[in-house]
Amino acid sequence: MLPPLGPLDRSLAFLLRLRVCPRANAPRWWAAARRAAGTAPQSVRLILTGRSRVELDAEQATEALSWARSLDGWDQDRLAPLWVYPAAPAER
């Protein structure tokens, strides 16, 4: 799991991935996310339309997780429904 959000290095442009956690049990969060899709950041909207992974930069990752954490059901399970991780060197 990632540490709490803090200042992010803007030089990390497009070196991150936003991904669905398939093991997370978060039906309330998914329902809330679908209802609020019109206000979701673009990266989350792509996830809501069926993508399992989206490439993004540090600023977009912060925006996506801030939005996602604000919805009901985010902390329903010990696993978050979405997570961010660095791209593998071969993917850069």
Does the global pTM surpass 0.85?
Answer: no
Average pLDDT score over residue span 7-28: 78
**Residues 3-9: contacts with CB under 8 Å, at least 24 apart:** 5/62, 5/65, 5/66, 8/58, 8/59, 8/61, 8/62, 9/58
Contact 68, 82 (CB under 8 A): yes
Residue pLDDT, tens place only, 36-67: 999 999 999 999 999 999 999 999 999 999 99
CB atoms within 10 A of CB 89: 7
| Model confidence at 2: pLDDT above 50 | no
Question: For the chain, what is the mean pLDDT?
Answer: 85
Confidence of residue 21 (pLDDT cuts 50, 70, 90): very high
The domain ranges of the chain are 13-91
